Chain A
Amino acid sequence: MTVMEQRGAYRPSPPPAWQPRTDPTPLLPDTTPYRVLGTEAAAKADPALLRRLYAELVRGRRYNAQATALTKQGRLAVYPSSTGQEACEVAAALVLQEQDWLFPSYRDTLAAVARGVDPVQALTLLRGDWHTGYDPHAHRVAPLCTPLATQLPHAVGLAHAARLKGDDVVALALVGDGGTSEGDFHEALNFAAVWQAPVVFLVQNNGFAISVPLAKQTAAPSLAHKAVGYGMPGRLVDGNDAAAVHEVLADAVARARAGGGPTLVEAITYRLDAHTNADDATRYREDAEVETWREHDPILLLERELTARGLIDEDGIRAARDDAEAFAADLRTRMNQDPHLDPMDLFAHVYAEPTPQLREQQALLRAELEAEAELAAEPEGGAR
């Protein structure tokens, strides 16, 4: 019995006689990742969706390249790239309806952008002029979350709250393979299943938690298998197959929306870039391995399918690339402008009303700034 089933009614807990509550068999994931592109299932895929996914992937790849370049130019403090993972990022954004919520981690700025967040605002955290650059309510994208897996219980709580209020809202939370080792991953999945919250967990298994490979992270047959322990279905999908990720996530979202509860999706993908610009991936993986994954690139897979089926031609490919270039040029131009900084913002929004202690500190900083401004205004060599 879930909390929702008890709504409005009060019943003491049932007697604690043990009985198996769920047959785990239907919860188990496939043993091989689900694929659409290059398989018979591709024929059933909506051509318009495939073309849309392609355009978003091309733009997403260009976005990753531009953000990485901006980091090298000193415009971003750090950039955790999702190059190679664009299929997961884009599909996660596209499966959601307007009223749904996305819970990204720090690597998921692309998912936020694909959901409509202005890229300059999505990159604010990484530029370093504030923590969250966008109003989370505007596109229903939670703040980028840096402490691993801690955003997962937020997604559960939000989805649960929406259901308590009778609203049709699904939350989709993103986490990496390393994040599945955190306690918050466990607690979030357990709460979600017990409450039957309308939430979908997408694990982007990109093979490495910075440098630590999956084999040192878990002994589970797959990360999707972990779902069984919570009483929710686990799905295993090829994370570089945008059509497959979209289909699996869409199923999970529809299931959550219909009151079927949470799903854990593991997408097998690969981080083609280092963890961030500050990381040196050659210390923990061979170039040959990276090259293997380049042949399984999400854009390549989709382009091959679209071309083979005559769903896109040279002009279509060029149009997608031109759109991506225009997007990158706009981002570059706007990111090359210095952000406006007001040091007094430090005290804004710590509390609804600043405490007396913060007011004192505010006055101290203001006096320092005024003295600084006065000094700067003095003519060179002027009387002191």
Chain B
Amino acid sequence: MTTVAVKPATMAQALTRALRDALAADPDVHVLGEDVGTLGGVFRITDGLAKEFGDHRCTDTPLAEAGILGTAVGMAMYGLRPVVEMQFDAFAYPAFEQLVSHVCRMRNRTRGTMPLPITIRVPYGGGIGGVEHHSDSSEAYYMATPGLHVVTPATVADAYGLLRQAIASDDPVVFLEPKRLYWSKDAWNPDDPPAVEPIGRAVVRRSGRSATLITYGPSLPVCLEAAEAAREEGWDLEVVDLRSLVPFDDETVCASVRRTGRAVVVHESGGFGGPGGEIAARVTERCFHYLEAPVLRVAGFDVPYPPPMLERYHLPGVDRILDAVGRLQWEAER
């Protein structure tokens, strides 16, 4: 029996491949955004697409995010399947009105006659030394907008699989790409990409019995590292990767918390009004009698995203996660 060695690939490569395969599979798929053509995007995610499929399939647009998303709405109204790139998290805000006034509600307001299959790719989060307006975690805004799916991969396989699913979805999907994981590597075969769980399902990335870390996107590797470090303290941590914030997988999350009895939600986004509050409330409502301690949150501080030389104090790190785990009322067990 021979095994073919699978080479490592980056998340960026998997995303590019997903776009390429989607363009090849469906002539209605169109990529548009700022610098996505000749340059291949500032993160090179659309590298080579204009060359392979033509500028009319991978289009450099004028520099105007509301215009990009607004014209994508019209394209989707006519039956195309646009994939738009917002260059950075904080540069997506001009498109916000189109998103909340049209993209998320067109299906509903037309009683299902005018669905908008638009994928909105947004590189998000910090940790890459970006200056002001290049490191926002904007997921809470999107989560608070009914009618959108909000998806974020944390692994190379998910980057490919979830993006293909997002583009194939008949609903609008905000696809949040953790930019600090663009260059993370994993063994992954681009010619035979593994099937992944569907949008809406969370995945247990590490099994454990002591407590559950609930996380997504850029914080997944941090949580896995924390879980390894926690072994020294005698804690066996389970790590759940949400993958999809909307729809939210109550089932997988709550099954884990019921097993472990303790939970910490970890994300870069600010804690106040952030995703962790919703997650903690949902877990508490459903698992109260299984909980040994309140659900805690480890989040970014409630400050404007810090300048690059200060961001390490802001981002949830291994120590802050372990401190939170330490506060999960272990005294009762001793």
Question: Residues of A at under 8 Å CB distance from B?
Answer: 3-4, 6-13, 130-132, 135-137, 142-143, 147, 150, 152-162, 164-165, 169, 171, 183-184, 187-188, 190-191, 194, 345, 348-352, 355-357
Contacts and interface: CB of A to CB of B under 8 A. Distances in A.
A114 B72 CA distance: 28
Given A13-B38, A154-B77, A184 B66 contact: yes
Interface in B209-259: 246-251
Interface in B98-116: 98, 101-102, 105-115
Interface size class of B (residues with CB under 8 A): 35 or more
4 smallest beta-carbon distances between A and B, as pairs: A157-B74, A153-B70, A187-B67, A157-B71
B169 to A, nearest CB: 8
Nearest to A157: B74
B247 A150 contact: no
Contacts of A356: 200, 247-251
22 contacts: A6-B54, A8-B54, A9-B55, A130-B111, A136-B110, A143-B106, A143-B110, A147-B102, A152-B70, A154-B71, A157-B71, A161-B75, A164-B80, A165-B80, A169-B78, A184-B66, A187-B66, A191-B67, A350-B108, A356-B248, A356-B250, A357-B248
B50 interface: yes
A130 B250 CA distance: 31
Nearest to A199: B74
Interface string B80-98: 1010000000000010011
B171 interface: yes
Contact of B200 (A131, A194, A355): A355
A355 B246 contact: yes
A12 B147 CA distance: 38
A188 B62 CA distance: 10
B97 A150 contact: yes
A12 B250 CA distance: 48
A7 B56 contact: yes
Contacts of A169: 78
Interface in B7-51: 30, 38, 50-51
Given A165-B78, A348-B112, 14 more contacts: A9-B55, A130-B111, A150-B70, A153-B73, A154-B73, A157-B70, A158-B74, A159-B74, A161-B74, A164-B30, A187-B70, A188-B71, A350-B146, A357-B250
A132 B108 CA distance: 9
Contacts of A142: 77
B64 interface: yes
Contacts of B112: 348-349
B273 interface: no
Interface string B294-328: 00000000000000000000000000000000000
Contacts of B329: none
Given A164-B56, A191-B64, A155 B107 contact: no
Given A157-B75, A183-B94, A191-B62, A135 B171 contact: no
Contact of A357 (B30, B169, B247): B247
A157 B32 CA distance: 11
